[in-house]
Amino acid sequence: MKVAVIGTGYVGLTTAVSLAVKGHQVLGIDVVKHKIDRLMQGQSPIYEPGLDQVLKQVLEQENIFFTTRLHEAKEAQVIFVCVGTPEAANGEADLTYLHAALQEIEELHSQAPVERVVVIKSTVPVGTGDHAASRLCHCADLHVVSNPEFLREGCALEDALQPSRIVVGADSQKAMNIMKEMYKGISAPWVETTRANAELIKYASNAFLATRISFMNELARLSSEIGTDVSTISQGMGLDSRIGPQFLRAGVGYGGSCFPKDTIALLNLAKRHGVNLSILEKVREVNATQPLWFLEQLHKQMPDLYGKRIALLGLAFKPDTDDIREAPSLTILDALQRSGALIVAYDPVASNHVKELFPDAEYTSTPEAVFQGAHAALLVTEWKECVELDWAKIMEMMEVPLLFDGRNAWPARALEEAGFFYKGVGRS
Ligand SMILES: NC(=O)c1ccc[n+]([C@@H]2O[C@H](COP(=O)([O-])OP(=O)(O)OC[C@H]3O[C@@H](n4cnc5c(N)ncnc54)[C@H](O)[C@@H]3O)[C@@H](O)[C@H]2O)c1
């Protein structure tokens, strides 16, 4: 099928490439010209494992092209909208980019009125799809579908090709059939519903995952007081098939481009309808304080951080991505700088993004180098190279061997036996 994808960020680019892999003719569109130039050369503007290689392959097969102009997509039967929906100043989702994309689609359709489906893949508040459908209702043969995305950065391509589920909200069988045809080569449980249900499934899923994380982070705080081990607690809980092991790891709090903005958007949506989602309020509160709670553990050992050299390992909001949106590392960096600490940080791919926000910190090109002369080291993102380290060498490099493991990923017992002071998140 001929498919256009508006927005070539984490979601749009992955969607475009995976559909091209499945043999569709895909046109990726973005307003940022240098992204398009890079993409046409087979270089992904975002870091996503495996994406560059598959991108080059589909470009060679001529299954994918990129442009800044939607009107080159006159023949597109399906147009995906994958633009950002960031948090607006009032906490609601900012739909400016979405409305701009819909406007362009309206113009395209008036020039080339073929039967087509507009698929809203961006995460949008309940009612947005219905609103878009009424806005575009004068466009004959144009269907609006809600098809939220559930991919995880770091394994986005894999998730797009083998999704946990495909949720499609539509109000016509014709649109549903076109969507089925488009996803024919991808096998996954299929949820057929209304646009509003599809939109809420997305927000509810993210809110629930965020809830699990904050729940474990509070249990970690309790564990820390009573001498239990939250890693073991989560292992024991996760073996219950009614609970499952995912998203039960305590840490420095969730971040990223989705959970923070989607939880606040859902709260605001509920508020507008007179409903108080009190559990979710608490989830956000725990998350906002979790990086600070983590830093308190450092302060307990080192009350005065002024002039102290503090090593940070990992800056991206999670491993295998360069995304630093709402990353806990930013809160930690900010608080440490305010305390007068000298920060030396390492991340395999995200340092350049963080450097723009914190130019005064020092950034190293290897994980080991951060330990040189450090008075304490903090694991913030559990990249493999930040976890698998030569601890004997590090013991020699550190000024003071204090380790704070924000992801419970370092080998606690071995480190203590080797003479380090080790403090995890709720780990005995
Ligand atoms: N990143 C994730 O892990 C993820 C997962 C599931 C859902 N989502 C949702 O998907 C949406 C996109 O997220 P993302 O992380 O890919 O965002 P992103 O910021 O990485 O990408 C958005 C892209 O859209 C482009 N754009 C904006 N307006 C445009 C227009 N009018 N025409 C063409 N291009 C335009 C931007 O230049 C940018 O490249 C959001 O609603 C997000 O909540 C994200």
The pLDDT tens digits for 201-236 are: 999 999 999 999 999 999 999 999 999 999 999 999
| The pLDDT of residue 84 is above 90 | yes
Query: Has residue 212 been placed in a domain?
Result: no
Q: Report yes or no: 78 and 182 within 8 Å, Cβ to Cβ.
A: yes
Q: Which atom of ligand 1 is nearest to the CA of 6?
A: 33
- CA 216: distance to chain centroid? 19
| The pLDDT of residue 428 is above 90 | no
Same domain, 277 and 133: no
Q: At what angle do helices 195-226 and 259-272 cross, to 10 degrees?
A: 120
Q: Report yes or no: 206 and 186 within 8 Å, Cβ to Cβ.
A: no
Q: Which pLDDT value is given to residue 418?
A: 98
Phi, psi torsion values for 25, nearest 5 degrees: -95, 110
Query: Has residue 373 been placed in a domain?
Result: yes
Same domain, 276 and 156: no
Q: Could you say which of 193, 221, 243 is where a domain stops?
A: 193
Domain count, the chain: 2
Query: Has residue 107 been placed in a domain?
Result: yes
Using the mean position of ligand 1's atoms as its centre, give its distance from the Cα of residue 345 in Å: 28
Same domain, 256 and 158: no
Q: Across residues 15-34, what is the average pLDDT? A: 98
Same domain, 180 and 298: no
Q: Across residues 154-168, what is the average pLDDT? A: 97
Q: Which pLDDT value is given to residue 9?
A: 97
Instruction: State the CATH number of the domain containing residue 11.
Output: 3.40.50.720
The Cα 407–Cα 426 span in angstroms is 10
Same domain, 180 and 258: no
Query: Has residue 316 been placed in a domain?
Result: yes
Same domain, 156 and 266: no
Q: Could you say which of 145, 170, 193 is where a domain stops?
A: 193
Mapped onto helix, strand or coil, the DSSP state of residue 364 is coil
Same domain, 185 and 271: no
Using the mean position of ligand 1's atoms as its centre, give its distance from the Cα of residue 327 in Å: 17
| The pLDDT of residue 160 is above 90 | yes
Query: Has residue 135 been placed in a domain?
Result: yes
- Domain extent at residue 185: 2-193
Same domain, 183 and 38: yes
Query: Has residue 335 been placed in a domain?
Result: yes
Phi, psi torsion values for 81, nearest 5 degrees: -105, 110
**Average pLDDT value over all residues in the chain:** 97
DSSP β-ladder status, 166-169 and 402-405: unpaired
CA dihedral (380, 384, 390, 391) positive or negative: positive
Query: Has residue 237 been placed in a domain?
Result: no
Residues with CB under 6 A from ligand 1: 6-12, 29-32, 35, 82-85, 97, 100-101, 122-123, 149, 151, 153, 257-258
Mapped onto helix, strand or coil, the DSSP state of residue 4 is strand
Query: Has residue 331 been placed in a domain?
Result: yes
Using the mean position of ligand 1's atoms as its centre, give its distance from the Cα of residue 176 in Å: 24
Same domain, 41 and 109: yes
Task: For 288-338, write each residue's pLDDT tens digit.
Answer: 999 999 999 999 999 999 999 999 999 999 999 999 999 999 999 999 999
Q: Which atom of ligand 1 is nearest to the CA of 11?
A: 16
